[in-house]
Amino acid sequence: QVQLVESGGGLVQPGGSLRLSCAASGFTFSNYDMSWYRQAPGKERELVASITNFGIITEYATSVKGRFTMSRDNAKNTVYLQMTSLKPEDTAVYYCNADHSYSLPGRNAYWGQGTQVTVSS
């Protein structure tokens, strides 16, 4: 069965760093574009970063550009989000998303369960 399992979340102080991982299984990983989304209390879920199926193109939300780096390792069926210079505004549940590269967006997509990131002093 399809699984996306996030890890690496936790409590970190402002200015600190954290690396999130998302391990995928049950589907052909290299056929899927991957994204990180986040949702803070009272706010809509927002796209943080995305990467195409072979890692050729990455895109970032303006709010995280220059601070976060998304990458993927297709040999390990894993995507990462390296977060640096963390701010309290980054506090949210972070979700891993897989969307089939050769289907219409959202038609063949999977979601992880989410991992909590809390940035607080």
pLDDT at 56: 97
Residue 111 has a pLDDT of 96
Residue numbers in the chain where pLDDT is lower than 70? none
pLDDT at residue 106, as a whole number: 85
- Residues 53-90, buried b or exposed e (16+ Cβ, 10 A)? beeeeeebeeebeeebebebeeeebbbbbebeebeeeb
How do residues 9-40 score in pLDDT, each as one tens digit? 999 999 999 999 999 999 999 999 999 999 99
